A and B are shown apart, each in its own frame.
Chain A
Amino acid sequence: MIQLRGVTKSYNGTIKAVDQLNLDVPKGEIFGFLGPNGAGKTTTIKMVTGIIRPDAGEITINGKNIATDTLEAKRQFGYVPDSPDLFLRLKGLEYLRFMADIYEVPQQLRKERIQQLAKRFDMSDALGDTIQSYSHGMRQKIMIMGVLVHHPEVWILDEPLTGLDPKSSFTLKEMMREHADSGRTVFFSTHVLEVAEKLCDRVAIINKGKILFCGTFPEMQQHFQSNHSLESLFLELTKHE
C-alpha cells in the first residue's frame, strides 16, 4: 500500500514536475501509472523510493513514512529503476547476493529464489558473467531478480516493459499478477497503453505533474460515458494545454 498526500516537487524552483499529488495504491492490485513523456512519473517514483525529497507533502509505504521512518519504509519495497545500466562490473550472481545481503534473506531462501527466478527468466547460464556482458533486456531481468530475491511487500517498477523480449515480458507480467494476487502491491509506470489496459486493475493518469484520472478502466469508461479504448481516452485526456 502506498499513500501520497499533497506531494509537490519542482526542479530549480521553476517548473512543477509534480503538483499537489494525492494517490492511494491499494494492496492486492496492479496499479498502472500512466502519462506521456515528461509527465512526472519518474519524479513521483523517485520521491516514493526516497531518492529525492518532495518540497511538500507526505508519502507512506505500508504506513511507514519514507521521510521519518526511512529504513522501515525502505524494507517494505523493491524498486526497479528505468535505466538498468548499474552494477555493471559485478557478476549476475554477485549482484543477487549483494541484494540478498542488504535485505537479509536467509541462505536457504535466497538459494531457492535465485534458482527459481533464474529458471523463469532463462538466466541460469548468465549468472556467472558480469552484468556488463548482458544485453539491455538481460540487465533489466537481473535488476528485477535483484528485487524479487527479497520478496518485497510493495514492488515499484519504472517503465519495466520497454526492452524486454516477448517471453520475458510475458513472464514479468505473470509475476506481477502473482505478486498482486498474493495480497501485495504492484506499482509501475508506463506509457505503453495496450499493456496497461490488459494488465492493470487500476490506473492513474498523470500529465504535467497533475493526476487527471484515477480508477479502474470500466470506471473510466463510465466517467467519460464512452466505450472507447484506453488509448483514445488517454489521448483525449492529455490533449489539452
Chain B
Amino acid sequence: MNKVLLLTKIMLKNAGSSLGSKKGSGWKTLLILLAIGVGLIPLMAALVVFVAGLYDGLAQIGQEGALLGLGIAGTSLAIFLLGIVYVLSVFYFSQDVEHFLPMPIAPGEILGAKFLVALLYEYLTALTMIAPIFITYGVKSGGGFLYYLFALLVFVALPVIPLTLAILLVMVFMRYTNIGKYKDRFRLLGGLIAIAGGLGFQAFVQRQTSGTDSSVEQLQQMIAAGEQGLLGIVTKLFPASKLGALAILESSTWSGFANLLGFFAIAVAGLLLFLWVGNRLYFSGVMGISESRAKRKKIDEAAFQKGIRPRSMWLAYADKEWKVLWRTPAFFMNCALSSIFFPLFGLVPLLSRQDSAELLASLSGWLQGGHMGGISLVVAFSAFVVMASTNSTSITAITREGQGIFLSKTLPIPAGQLLVAKLIPGTLLSVISMALLVAEAAWFIQLPSLFIILAVVVGIPGILFVNLLGLILDLQMPKLEWGSEQEAVKQNLNPLFSMLMGMVTAALCIVLAFSLEASLLQMGVGLFVLFVLADLFLFRLLLRKGPSWLEKMEG
C-alpha cells in the first residue's frame, strides 16, 4: 500500500509540474486556483438556485427525496463521461508505465496508483456538482450532523462505480485494438466514436425531456411520475444511486445505515472487478502504445521526386507543425479535434428539440429586423472568438515542440518566419471551426447573406487576435520539459489563460454592443477596424520582440 501511495505521489507530481515547476511560483499557483474557483462560482450558484427551487416544488408533493437520487445519478453520469477522458489520459497516454515496469513494483500497484490519480480528478469534478446539491438540500431540510456525515460518506464512495465503468470500457477497447498496423488511426477513430456516442446520448436525454424545457415545474412532474423520463433513465444506468440517496435520506435510522453499507459494498465490488480485469487487460493494452507502423519499403521514384520538392522556409516549417499536430494522438485530441467538435456541440440542442424549428424561425426574423442586427453580429463574433480561444493549438505552439525548439534555434530560418509558421496551424483550425459554425447556422436559420459575409469578415481578425495573443503568451512561459506529449497539452495551464482571455474579449464586445446600439453594418465596420488594428499591433510586437523571447529560451 505504501508503494501505491508513493507511486500516486510521483504520478501527481509529474502531472502537477506545470503548477509548481519554478521555485517561488507558489503565489502563481494560488492565483490560478483562485481564478478557477471564481470561474466556477456562477455555475455553482446557478445550481444552488435551481436545486432550491426544485426542492420547494417537490416538498409540496412530498417527493423532495428524489432530488438526492437525481443529483447522485446525474453526478455519476458526468463522472462516467469525463472518466473516459481521464482514463485515456491517465492510463494510456501518460506513457509512464514503461518507466515503472522495470522497477520492483507489482503491476497491481501501478494499477492502484493510476486508479487513485484518476479518482482524485473525479473527486474534484464531483465536488463542484454534488456539494451544492447536498448542502442546499441539507439546509432546506434542516439536516443534522448525521445527514452531513452520511452525505460525506456517500460522496467518498460515489465516483468509484462510474469511474470503474469508464475504466472497464476503455480497457476492453484498448486491449482489443492494440493489434494490427493501423492501430494509431483505429484508436483515434475509437476516440471519435466514444465522443460522438457521448454527444448522441446527450441528445437522446434532451429529446426525452424535450418540450418540457427542463423547467423546474416540468421536472417536478416528471419526478412525481416515478420511474419514467430523465430520472428513470439515469437511475437505471446507475442503480446504486438509489442506495446512496436512501442512505442520506434515512441517515438517522438503521435502514439508512444498511443502505450506506450497500452503497459501499457495491463500490468495493467495483474496485475488485477493476483490479481483476485490469490485471488481465491493462498491460497488454498499454504495452507498445508508443509503437508505430513501419513498412521498411523503398519509396518509388515518382513518390521520391514528389516528396523532396523544394518549398520556402516558412512553408516547410508550417507544414512540419501541421503534420506533427495531426499525427500525435495527444495533440490531435486536444488541439485539432476540438475545433471540429466545438461547432458540432452546438448542433445537439438544435437537433434534439422538437420545437427547435419554430425557435429558429423566430430567431431568423429577429436577426433581419433592424437594430438587433448589430448585436447579433457581435454575438456571432464572440462565438468565433471564444471558439478560437478554447482551441489550444497556438497557446501550445512553442510548448508542443519541447526540446526540439533548441534544435530549431540552430537552423538558419529567420525567427520571424518561424513565428509566422507557428501561427498558421492554430489560425487555420479556428477558421475551419468558424466555417463549420457558419455553414451550420446558415442551414438551420434563414441568414441574410450580408450577415454571413460580415460575420466572416470580422471573424477572421478576431480569430487572428486570439491566436496572436496565444502565441505571444506561450513565448513568455513555454513548458518545454515534458516527458510525454500528453503532458505538454494536458498538464499545462496556459490554455486556461487563453480561454479566459477569449471570454473576457467576447464579454467586453457584447457589453459594448449593447451600450452602442449600432446597426449591422456599423457594427461590422467597427469590429473590423478595431480588431485589424489590434492584430497589427500584436503582429508587430511578435515580430519585434518574438526573436529575443526565443533567444532567451535556453536548455
| CB-nearest residue of chain A to B402 | A86
11 pairs from A and B in contact (CB 8 Å cutoff):
A46-B406, A51-B406, A97-B308, A97-B316, A98-B316, A101-B311, A124-B298, A128-B298, A128-B299, A129-B295, A130-B327
A89 within 8 A of B: yes
B413 within 8 A of A: yes
CB within 8 Å: A-B pair count: 109
Cross-chain contact A87 with B293 (CB below 8 angstroms): no
Report which residue of A83, A102, A114 has the largest number of chain B beta carbons within 10 angstroms of its beta carbon.
A102
Cross-chain contact B324 with A133 (CB below 8 angstroms): no
Known A-B contacts A100-B308, A110-B310; A90 and B324 likewise in contact (beta carbons under 8 Å): yes
Residues of chain A contacted by B2 (CB below 8 angstroms):
none
**Number of B residues contacting the other chain (C-beta, 8 Å)?**
41
Q: Which residues in window 314-362 of B have CB below 8 A to A?
A: 315-317, 319-320, 323-324, 327-328
With A49-B410, A86-B403, A94-B320 known, 16 other A-B pairs at CB within 8 A are A49-B409, A51-B554, A71-B412, A89-B328, A90-B324, A97-B309, A98-B316, A101-B311, A102-B313, A110-B308, A111-B308, A127-B298, A127-B299, A128-B295, A129-B296, A133-B291
| CB-nearest residue of chain B to A105 | B310
Closest Cβ of chain B: how far from A157's Cβ, in Å? 12
Residues of chain B contacted by A53 (CB below 8 angstroms):
551, 554
Cross-chain contact A107 with B310 (CB below 8 angstroms): yes
* A98, B317: Cα distance in complex, Å: 7
Residues of chain B contacted by A86 (CB below 8 angstroms):
403-404, 407
* A52, B405: Cα distance in complex, Å: 12
Interface string of A87-113 (1 = CB under 8 A from B): 101100110111011111111001100
A63 within 8 A of B: no
Residues of chain B contacted by A96 (CB below 8 angstroms):
308
A194 within 8 A of B: no
A132 within 8 A of B: yes
* A111, B290: Cα distance in complex, Å: 31
* A77, B411: Cα distance in complex, Å: 9
* A20, B290: Cα distance in complex, Å: 44
B304 within 8 A of A: yes
Cross-chain contact A132 with B410 (CB below 8 angstroms): no
Residues of chain B contacted by A241 (CB below 8 angstroms):
none
Cross-chain contact A93 with B307 (CB below 8 angstroms): yes
| CB-nearest residue of chain B to A76 | B412
A210 within 8 A of B: no
B297 within 8 A of A: yes
* A57, B320: Cα distance in complex, Å: 35
| CB-nearest residue of chain B to A86 | B404
B60 within 8 A of A: no
Report which residue of A89, A105, A110, A114 has the largest number of chain B beta carbons within 10 angstroms of its beta carbon.
A89
Interface string of B1-15 (1 = CB under 8 A from A): 000000000000000
Cross-chain contact B313 with A125 (CB below 8 angstroms): no
Residues of chain A contacted by B308 (CB below 8 angstroms):
93, 96-97, 100, 107, 110-111, 114
Residues of chain A contacted by B313 (CB below 8 angstroms):
101-102, 104
Cross-chain contact A102 with B411 (CB below 8 angstroms): yes
B302 within 8 A of A: no
B180 within 8 A of A: no
A126 within 8 A of B: yes
* A105, B309: Cα distance in complex, Å: 10
A41 within 8 A of B: no
A50 within 8 A of B: yes
Closest Cβ of chain B: how far from A120's Cβ, in Å? 15
Closest Cβ of chain A: how far from B309's Cβ, in Å? 7
Q: Interface residues, chain B, CB within 8 Å of chain A?
A: 290-299, 304-305, 307-313, 315-317, 319-320, 323-324, 327-328, 403-404, 406-407, 409-414, 551, 554-555
Cβ-neighbour of B292 out of A107, A126, A132 (below 8 A): A132
Residues of chain B contacted by A79 (CB below 8 angstroms):
407, 410
* A106, B309: Cα distance in complex, Å: 9
Residues of chain B contacted by A111 (CB below 8 angstroms):
304-305, 308
Cross-chain contact A74 with B307 (CB below 8 angstroms): no
Q: Interface residues, chain A, CB within 8 Å of chain B?
A: 46, 49-53, 71, 74-75, 77, 79, 81, 83, 86-87, 89-90, 93-94, 96-98, 100-107, 110-111, 114, 124-130, 132-133
Cβ-neighbour of A133 out of B294, B299, B320 (below 8 A): B294
Residues of chain B contacted by A74 (CB below 8 angstroms):
410-412
Closest Cβ of chain B: how far from A57's Cβ, in Å? 16
Cross-chain contact B323 with A94 (CB below 8 angstroms): yes
Residues of chain A contacted by B407 (CB below 8 angstroms):
79, 81, 86
Cross-chain contact A126 with B296 (CB below 8 angstroms): yes
Closest Cβ of chain A: how far from B192's Cβ, in Å? 20
Residues of chain A contacted by B406 (CB below 8 angstroms):
46, 51, 81
Cross-chain contact A89 with B323 (CB below 8 angstroms): yes
* A77, B407: Cα distance in complex, Å: 13
| CB-nearest residue of chain A to B299 | A128
Cross-chain contact A100 with B412 (CB below 8 angstroms): no
Report which residue of B298, B324, B410, B554 has the largest number of chain A beta carbons within 10 angstroms of its beta carbon.
B410
| CB-nearest residue of chain B to A150 | B412
Report which residue of A106, A110, A126 has the largest number of chain B beta carbons within 10 angstroms of its beta carbon.
A126
Closest Cβ of chain A: how far from B481's Cβ, in Å? 13
* A132, B291: Cα distance in complex, Å: 8
* A9, B313: Cα distance in complex, Å: 32
Cross-chain contact A128 with B297 (CB below 8 angstroms): yes
Cross-chain contact B404 with A125 (CB below 8 angstroms): no
Known A-B contacts A51-B555, A103-B412; A97 and B307 likewise in contact (beta carbons under 8 Å): yes
Residues of chain B contacted by A46 (CB below 8 angstroms):
406
* A49, B315: Cα distance in complex, Å: 23
Cross-chain contact A94 with B409 (CB below 8 angstroms): no
Cβ-neighbour of B317 out of A77, A102, A127 (below 8 A): A102
* A52, B552: Cα distance in complex, Å: 8
Cross-chain contact B320 with A107 (CB below 8 angstroms): no
* A49, B406: Cα distance in complex, Å: 10
Residues of chain A contacted by B411 (CB below 8 angstroms):
74, 102
Closest Cβ of chain B: how far from A124's Cβ, in Å? 5
Cross-chain contact B404 with A107 (CB below 8 angstroms): no
Cross-chain contact A107 with B412 (CB below 8 angstroms): no
Cross-chain contact A71 with B414 (CB below 8 angstroms): yes
Residues of chain B contacted by A127 (CB below 8 angstroms):
298-299
| CB-nearest residue of chain A to B312 | A101
Residues of chain B contacted by A77 (CB below 8 angstroms):
410
Residues of chain A contacted by B292 (CB below 8 angstroms):
129-130, 132-133
Cross-chain contact B404 with A87 (CB below 8 angstroms): yes
Residues of chain A contacted by B555 (CB below 8 angstroms):
51-52
Closest Cβ of chain A: how far from B29's Cβ, in Å? 22
* A235, B44: Cα distance in complex, Å: 68
Known A-B contacts A81-B407, A111-B305; A102 and B413 likewise in contact (beta carbons under 8 Å): yes
Closest Cβ of chain B: how far from A122's Cβ, in Å? 11
